[in-house]
Chain A
Amino acid sequence: MASHGLTYEGCNFLRQRLVLSALSGKRVKIKNIRSKDDEPGLRDFEANFIRLLDKLTNGSTIEINQTGTVLVYQPGLLYGGTVEHDCNPQRSIGYYLEALLMLGPFMKSPLKATLRGVTNDLTDPTVDLLKSTALPVMKKFGIDGEGFDIKVVKRGMAPGGGGEVVFTCPVRKTVRPVQLTDPGKIKRIRGVAYSVRVSPQMGNRIVESARGILNQFLPDIYIYTDHMKGANSGKSPGFGLTLVAETLNGYFLSAEMLSTPQGQGDPILPEDLGRNCAKLLLEEIYRGGCVDSSNQSLALLLMTLGQQDVSKVLLGPLSPYTIEFLRHIRDFFQIMFKIEVQKPLEDERKGGDKVLMTCVGVGYSNISKTLK
């Protein structure tokens, strides 16, 4: 009587598939993982992610074949509790944290996850970015309360790592439907310019250049400098900038930029980094919407898992990752989104096309939570 499974090919979107599988209780089989590659099979960071998922769940079975090209995952119950995990330094903690953000509210007991590894790198959204954008998005869905936080204890830059992040998340039985249709105007821009194992002056140089661009639009800009020293500074040098624009209605758009990791590629000047990052933020603002591009899938997931009511959210253009996520949602939950493109009016100067996503939730309720 076990529920029928779903079959996919290739290692891309592995996290989405496993997370949705864990939430929906459907078995998932992933074939041909890098089957044509010189090194076939799962990479270390993926195996590491699966191990993390195993720590969070109770009663899940994972089967991987000899070469690692086929993965079968039968999800168990999301257990939560206190978890410590050493993340693989090939990917940053953001890679793991994105999945945890999706699973966190639906555990049996409140989650307190301590993740160790690379906090900031170029490929994944950094911890700072998730902290400043993903948490407010989840708060809109009623996932809030004491102990809902991401805390950067130690910062570890790309190749070496050595950072530590504590993510705590309360448990919810249901998620409430939302109507996020009016982003409102941007009232302030905040940011963090961080640097480790380099001159503390780097931060200030980044701030200067970033302000130079953003001041054309808004006077209310404040960028904190965060220089971590000693034991809290990880193993590799580096610096970076995360910018967050807050709108009147409490939505957050963000952009970030990092220095190239030590020993990989050309070094980047902090001034250039600041400028480029500011431009990235402008790009993000141009895309617009109520949820920024890296959290689109999170918002869509929470909409899907809401009550059987209509939820709406206005997004910027859909990223390829989100598009694949939508397909996966249809596979796992049989939910299709109504996608409407909102063109900007002629004389409006509010950036590019927006996409209004509408769906009816599945009426998901947290079946892990104990009734007393």
Chain B
Amino acid sequence: MDGKVKKQKQHQQKHSGPKAEKKKLKKQNGSTEEDERKRNPKAFAVQSAVRMAKTFHRAQDIKTKKHHVPVVDRTPLEPPPIVIVVVGPPKVGKSTLIRCLIKNFTRQKLTDICGPVTIVSGKKRRLTFMECNNDINSMIDLAKVADLVLMLIDASFGFEMETFEFLNICQVHGFPRIMGVLTHLDAFKNNKTLRKTKKNLKHRFWTEVYQGAKLFYLSGMVYGEYQNQEVKNLGRFISVMKFRPLVWQTSHPYILADRIEDLTDPERLRTDPKCDRTVSLYGYLRGTHLKNKGQVHIPGVGDFQMSDANFLPDPCPLPGTQKKRALNEKERLLYAPMAGVGGVVYDKDAVYIDLPANHVKQLQEEVRPTTELVQSLIETHVTLDAKMAASKVSLFSGSAGLDPTDISEQSGVQEGLREIHVWDAHTQTQRRKVVFTGLEEEEDDVSGSSSDEDDDGSDQENQEEEDDLSTFLKEVRDKSEKATKGSTPPVKKRKLEEMKGEEEVIAEAPAFADSEDELERGEADSEGEGEAERAGDSGHCSKESEEDSDDEEDGDEDDESMEEEIGADDSDEEEEQGTFKWKEGLQQKASAAFLRHQEAAPNLRKLVYGSVVEAEDSEEEEEELGGLFRVNRPQKSKKVQADALDCSHFNPDISHNWELEEMLNSIRDCFVTGQWEEGQDAATLLKEDEELYGDFEDLETGKVHKGTTGEQDQAEKSESDEDETDDEDQQVKMDDEEVQKNKRLEKKRRLKERFDTEYDDGDATYFDDLKEEMQKQAELNRAEFEDMDDESRVQYEGFRPGMYVRLEISSLPCEFVTNFDPHYPVIIGGLGTSEGNVGYLQMRLKKHRWYERILKTRDPLILSLGWRRFQTIPLYHIEDHNGRHRLLKYTPQHMHCGASIWGPITPQGTGFLAVQSVSGVKANFRIAATGVVLDLDKSVTIVKKLKLIGYPYKIFQNTCFIKGMFNTVLEVAKFEGASIRTVSGVRGQIKKALSTPPGAFRATFEDRLLMSDIVFLRSWYPVSIPQLYNPVTSLLLPVGQKDSWSGMRTVGQLKHDLGVRNKPSIDSLYKPITRAPRHFNPLHIPKELQKALPFKSKPKLLQPKGKVPRDLKRASVIREPHERKVAELLRALSTVHHYKKKVAQRAHHAKHKEFLQQKEKDEEAKMKRMKDARKKLYRIMGQKDQKKQRSSLKGTPQDD
């Protein structure tokens, strides 16, 4: 159009007036659906019931589809660091990204990324970064442990095969969170192509992961690093990400080892460098609880028995609970021992610390106590709460030592002796310090003051810190003193009573705990690390036995002697005290927990699980005499027990006499007729009901009824007021008030419960109930062992996820150590019960649609199943309609089939993937097949078809003698009654063997056989699965060749490698088909039959026409010349006549046509005339009518 386009008037927003007000109102109230519904009810009315039902169903379907099966939330309170695996093809920027992220979180630069790097990223989150190199082994292993995958894609190149391979691996082993990161975006010069590429890549990524999966764009490098803002954003995304638990990960414990130490005896190494190694592996425990001494699998190495496990203080702890927004500098920890960075790294007898420059000062103070603490932990298995220890150490480091009053208070609660295992730095030995706690408090004070002085003397370096520390200590002290004064005496009294009762029960309590413990300790130490677990056990028992000694109540004398001992040990204490200062903070918690422990007599535990001492005693029982004879002692009680009657009956205690009234009374309350607890008593319940519904006003009389409890409460209150005046009964009063308070709380709770049940639970669905149940279970799981110390907690539930653990594995192959490469992940995967066994597995398998070949039965295949990677020989089969598993030679092209292997027992429902080789890099897609384990069975039921062929050699009517199918009479006997068939489909049965020739038999058929027939017997032959289980030991290969593992070769590969070419069997070769023409004999119908047949079916036997006899033949006429002329003339005349006739007819035809036309014209004219006439007539008639009407109207008067 023309150049000057008329500019549209811009929209003017109203700022005043009714429209603006309306808008403002709308903004304020928000657009509410309710409003619309009210305003326009018709629009929301039900139009069609069917439609409404449909929409409702659809809505419900969508809602229900969103539900996941609720699972118990088993995540620990302090979760392990999140494993972030950075994958991608080479040269895509993986290391750079990790470096940038680490720098972003910790402000530290890490030059070489090798092995896992753990950092603290926030108040509640730690991250472990792991780079995945371009090796399918690493990809498989890391996909199993990853929580989050950062998938790097070179945008300038596009997707590479590795990316898709990794995605497929993830799909099989449970899909972790995946975030794509596009790099090399600066390679695009044209903005439009950039945008297009981004979009294309994004959509392809979405189809692989899920619609809307997050894809990050790193737009370019600045000085060899990604842009700060982009990295920061990525970091933010990572630190708020949520994860859905994956089945395999949550049901198995696993560790991504971040540190490895070889503990093998150097002397042995010197003599035999190839000997099996004892190795300790360190890492955060993830997944689920790990049981000590369990079986583990290290992918790439093999299965091993854990020889020992213990937990260590967290090298990368989360910051404390201070309320603040960001982490301060010293809380931004970094731990990567394989990269040689961070934290403390210890040897057997020395500690190496690698520190960044800015941390030096603060860490120096920390180092000593930490290491000592750690060392003592490793060696001694002292009970301690590692987390607390770690958090407190920094606070108390080297400060005014242990406050003796605290310890005495603590032990005052415990009443008796306590031992504390202390690491003596000078002698490098383990010492058990006995802390005495007298019954009198004065003693405590004395000893407390003395040690106070000691502390002051010893710790002069740390004066600066003392100020705030002392105030803190004071608070702690005050609190604890209060606690002891308030609560201890009644407890003590009760305990004593209990003990009296127990004394009889505890017969096996040792006389004095100390000596025995000393002995135990000595033994435990000498036994070395193999026995470490047991030593831990003994630590427990010793504590119990101390309590026993207390029970005996000969405490006073012993106590005094102990005092002296302590005096002697004082010099040692000076150093030692520093080490257990960290325990002070634990006091309240520990004392509370301990109190509870003691109340439940722990001797039952000892009775059940025993102690080291007992076990050893029994071993020593048999002693040899002169090395030849054995002393046969009368069998001791244990021996007798070993061969006793195996019976679960628990014979009653004879001491109870159920004739006595008091015995009967002792169980009276077990019956509904007995007395009920106060809360559940019928009377109280009634009263409560009255309270609830009791207040009512009688409307008729106007009388107000009131519940009675109020008054009662008051009465009780006044009573308690009176009590208050009595100083003596203060205790009682306190208790009373407590009771009242509890009662009120209880009542409140019950009322609330009742209210809830009445009003809330009305529309709770099954799903809600289930969820609530799971929630409750999760709470219980958390609460049950919460306030136990870690050492005993570990014994009950195993090591819990989130702990930093150290596993010791003996007999690892030496190549693991010598060929160790930190770039490859070392994963320690725990195995469940019976997952260590090997057996037959049935699986469902499908060839991957991107793998270009089909798989052949009995070709070795490398599977990744559970934690393991192994080579095995699968047999493929398919299920027939009758449930038979028929062997297949090859996998179907686009269909699932069954596969049976000999391999490690893995729970059903576990996914697996198969590759044909793990060595090298190939251009093609490497994942050959995927599937799932269906069944574990010790027997295999795969069969293949076998056809036995025989030939008839004598034919009677329907009976036949057949040879060549079997070789002996016995074989035939086995198949008597089997059905057989000929090629032409005649069915028959094997009857009986014939004596000669061997293997021949008599058979009957439904029809007579021909000698040319072939008889066959269709049978099914069971196939056995080759027992090949060959773990992929890729981690044992030399550095640099780890991706070149090759196992058993397929027959095809072998032939190719060896250049073998099989001569095909002559019979299998293709030859030109020559078919001899077949002659059929004519059909012969007997004469008799022919006669009987109806005419229709009778063969139409037409005799070939013979010669007609001469007499039957007609004579031919020969004309005379005259006759001929006449005939000629007649013919000419008739021709002329014909012509004339034809012409005449044509003329007549034309004439008639003309006539018809004329006639039509006339007719038309006639019609027209008649029409006109009729028209005229009707008009006249109409006029007449009108006239008549008019005249009639005129005549009549108009009344209406």
**Residues of A at under 8 Å CB distance from B?**
1-4, 9-15, 23-26, 32-34, 36-37, 58-59, 76-77, 95, 98, 108, 123-125, 177, 179, 185-187, 213, 216-219, 248, 279-280, 282-283, 285-286, 288, 293-294, 297, 307-310, 312, 318-323, 326-327, 330, 333-343, 348-351, 355, 358-360, 362-365, 367-372
Do residues A333 and B836 form an inter-chain contact, with CB atoms below 8 A?
no
Determine how close the nearest CB of chain A comes to the CB of B1175; give it in whole angstroms: 93
Determine how close the nearest CB of chain A comes to the CB of B7; give it in whole angstroms: 72
B669 is an interface residue with CB less than 8 A from chain A: yes
Q: Known contacts A283-B658, A310-B784, A318-B608; is A217 also within 8 Å of B834 by CB?
A: no
Interchain CA distance A308-B604 in the complex, whole Å: 24
Taking CB atoms and an 8 Å cut-off, the chain B residues in 611-637 that contact chain A are: 635
Determine how close the nearest CB of chain A comes to the CB of B477; give it in whole angstroms: 31
Contact partner of B839 (CB less than 8 A), chosen from A77, A217, A297, A327, is A77
B498 is an interface residue with CB less than 8 A from chain A: yes
Contacts of A320 in B (CB 8 A): 650
Contacts of A323 in B (CB 8 A): 607-608
Contacts of B642 in A (CB 8 A): 9-12, 32
Q: Known contacts A11-B643, A33-B643, A76-B938; is A367 also within 8 Å of B650 by CB?
A: no
**Residues of B at under 8 Å CB distance from A?**
72, 74, 251, 288-289, 291-295, 302-303, 305, 498, 600-601, 604-605, 607-610, 635, 639, 641-650, 652-653, 656, 658, 664-676, 777, 780-781, 784-785, 795-798, 832-834, 836-839, 904-905, 907-909, 932-939, 1029
Which 5 pairs across A and B sit closest by C-beta, in order of nearness?
A59-B938, A10-B642, A25-B834, A319-B650, A334-B291
Do residues B672 and A218 form an inter-chain contact, with CB atoms below 8 A?
yes
Determine how close the nearest CB of chain B comes to the CB of A352; give it in whole angstroms: 8
- In the complex, given contacts A9-B642, A13-B646, A25-B837, what are 8 additional A-B residue pairs having Cβ atoms less than 8 angstroms apart? A59-B937, A59-B938, A59-B939, A286-B656, A294-B650, A309-B777, A339-B608, A349-B670
Do residues B641 and A350 form an inter-chain contact, with CB atoms below 8 A?
no
Contacts of A179 in B (CB 8 A): 780
Interchain CA distance A309-B656 in the complex, whole Å: 38
Interchain CA distance A286-B665 in the complex, whole Å: 10
Q: Known contacts A59-B939, A77-B937, A283-B656; is A125 also within 8 Å of B649 by CB?
A: yes
Contacts of B934 in A (CB 8 A): 370-372
Determine how close the nearest CB of chain B comes to the CB of A15; give it in whole angstroms: 6
Which residue of A36, A125, A340, A371 has the most chain B CB atoms within 10 A of its CB atom? A371
Interchain CA distance A185-B670 in the complex, whole Å: 5
Q: Jot down 19 A-B pairs with beta carbons below 8 A, ordered by A.
A: A1-B1029, A36-B635, A59-B938, A123-B647, A185-B672, A185-B676, A218-B671, A286-B667, A309-B777, A310-B780, A318-B604, A319-B649, A321-B647, A327-B608, A338-B785, A338-B796, A339-B608, A349-B668, A369-B908
Contacts of A326 in B (CB 8 A): 608-609
Among residues of B, the one whose C-beta sits closest to the C-beta of A294 is: B648
Q: Known contacts A14-B646, A307-B72, A340-B600; is A360 also within 8 Å of B289 by CB?
A: yes
Interchain CA distance A294-B639 in the complex, whole Å: 24
Interchain CA distance A76-B937 in the complex, whole Å: 9
Contacts of A367 in B (CB 8 A): 834, 905, 907-908, 936
Do residues B833 and A362 form an inter-chain contact, with CB atoms below 8 A?
yes
Do residues A336 and B295 form an inter-chain contact, with CB atoms below 8 A?
no
Do residues A349 and B669 form an inter-chain contact, with CB atoms below 8 A?
yes
Interchain CA distance A335-B795 in the complex, whole Å: 8
Among residues of B, the one whose C-beta sits closest to the C-beta of A129 is: B649
Which residue of B601, B647, B908 has the most chain A CB atoms within 10 A of its CB atom? B647
Interchain CA distance A4-B938 in the complex, whole Å: 19
Number of A-B residue pairs with CB-CB distance less than 8 Å in the complex they form: 229
Among residues of B, the one whose C-beta sits closest to the C-beta of A123 is: B647
Interchain CA distance A321-B647 in the complex, whole Å: 7
Determine how close the nearest CB of chain A comes to the CB of B226; give it in whole angstroms: 41
Do residues B936 and A98 form an inter-chain contact, with CB atoms below 8 A?
no
Among residues of A, the one whose C-beta sits closest to the C-beta of B843 is: A371
Interchain CA distance A123-B645 in the complex, whole Å: 9
Determine how close the nearest CB of chain B comes to the CB of A114; give it in whole angstroms: 22
Do residues A98 and B937 form an inter-chain contact, with CB atoms below 8 A?
no
Contacts of A370 in B (CB 8 A): 908, 934-935
Interchain CA distance A217-B675 in the complex, whole Å: 12
Interchain CA distance A123-B292 in the complex, whole Å: 38
Do residues A364 and B781 form an inter-chain contact, with CB atoms below 8 A?
no
Do residues B664 and A216 form an inter-chain contact, with CB atoms below 8 A?
yes
Contacts of A10 in B (CB 8 A): 639, 641-644
Contacts of B837 in A (CB 8 A): 1-3, 25
Contact partner of A341 (CB less than 8 A), chosen from B604, B645, B670, is B604
Contacts of B292 in A (CB 8 A): 334
Do residues B796 and A349 form an inter-chain contact, with CB atoms below 8 A?
no
Contacts of A123 in B (CB 8 A): 645, 647, 649
Interchain CA distance A33-B305 in the complex, whole Å: 29
Do residues A217 and B668 form an inter-chain contact, with CB atoms below 8 A?
yes
Interchain CA distance A340-B338 in the complex, whole Å: 44
Do residues A98 and B643 form an inter-chain contact, with CB atoms below 8 A?
no
Determine how close the nearest CB of chain B comes to the CB of A9; give it in whole angstroms: 5
Do residues A185 and B671 form an inter-chain contact, with CB atoms below 8 A?
yes
Do residues A308 and B908 form an inter-chain contact, with CB atoms below 8 A?
no
Do residues B643 and A363 form an inter-chain contact, with CB atoms below 8 A?
no
Determine how close the nearest CB of chain B comes to the CB of A134; give it in whole angstroms: 11
Determine how close the nearest CB of chain B comes to the CB of A19; give it in whole angstroms: 12
Interchain CA distance A177-B773 in the complex, whole Å: 11
Which residue of A1, A15, A177, A179 has the most chain B CB atoms within 10 A of its CB atom? A1
Interchain CA distance A256-B834 in the complex, whole Å: 38
Q: Known contacts A77-B938, A360-B796; is A339 also within 8 Å of B834 by CB?
A: no
Contact partner of B784 (CB less than 8 A), chosen from A283, A327, A341, A358, is A358
Determine how close the nearest CB of chain A comes to the CB of B747; give it in whole angstroms: 20
Interchain CA distance A329-B779 in the complex, whole Å: 26
Do residues A283 and B652 form an inter-chain contact, with CB atoms below 8 A?
yes
Contacts of A26 in B (CB 8 A): 833-834
Contacts of A36 in B (CB 8 A): 635, 643
Contacts of A340 in B (CB 8 A): 600
Interchain CA distance A321-B289 in the complex, whole Å: 28
Among residues of A, the one whose C-beta sits closest to the C-beta of B939 is: A58
Contacts of B675 in A (CB 8 A): 349
Among residues of B, the one whose C-beta sits closest to the C-beta of A365 is: B907
Interchain CA distance A185-B833 in the complex, whole Å: 39
Do residues B833 and A364 form an inter-chain contact, with CB atoms below 8 A?
yes
Which residue of B288, B635, B784, B795 has the most chain A CB atoms within 10 A of its CB atom? B784
Among residues of A, the one whose C-beta sits closest to the C-beta of B293 is: A334
Q: Known contacts A2-B838, A282-B664; is A124 also within 8 Å of B797 by CB?
A: no
Interchain CA distance A15-B672 in the complex, whole Å: 38
Determine how close the nearest CB of chain A comes to the CB of B795; give it in whole angstroms: 5
Do residues B289 and A308 form an inter-chain contact, with CB atoms below 8 A?
yes
Interchain CA distance A95-B837 in the complex, whole Å: 29
Contact partner of B649 (CB less than 8 A), chosen from A294, A308, A365, A368, is A294
Do residues A371 and B908 form an inter-chain contact, with CB atoms below 8 A?
yes
Interchain CA distance A367-B938 in the complex, whole Å: 12
Q: Known contacts A2-B838, A330-B609, A370-B934; is A37 also within 8 Å of B643 by CB?
A: yes
Do residues B653 and A283 form an inter-chain contact, with CB atoms below 8 A?
yes
Among residues of B, the one whose C-beta sits closest to the C-beta of A325 is: B648
Contacts of B605 in A (CB 8 A): 339
Do residues A350 and B669 form an inter-chain contact, with CB atoms below 8 A?
yes
Interchain CA distance A14-B251 in the complex, whole Å: 31
Among residues of B, the one whose C-beta sits closest to the C-beta of A31 is: B642
Interchain CA distance A323-B833 in the complex, whole Å: 22
Which residue of A219, A283, A288 has the most chain B CB atoms within 10 A of its CB atom? A283
Which residue of A95, A309, A318 has the most chain B CB atoms within 10 A of its CB atom? A309
Do residues A341 and B600 form an inter-chain contact, with CB atoms below 8 A?
yes
Contacts of A310 in B (CB 8 A): 777, 780-781, 784-785
Interchain CA distance A185-B667 in the complex, whole Å: 11
Among residues of B, the one whose C-beta sits closest to the C-beta of A288 is: B670
Do residues A187 and B908 form an inter-chain contact, with CB atoms below 8 A?
no
Contacts of B639 in A (CB 8 A): 10
Interchain CA distance A294-B651 in the complex, whole Å: 10
Interchain CA distance A340-B72 in the complex, whole Å: 25
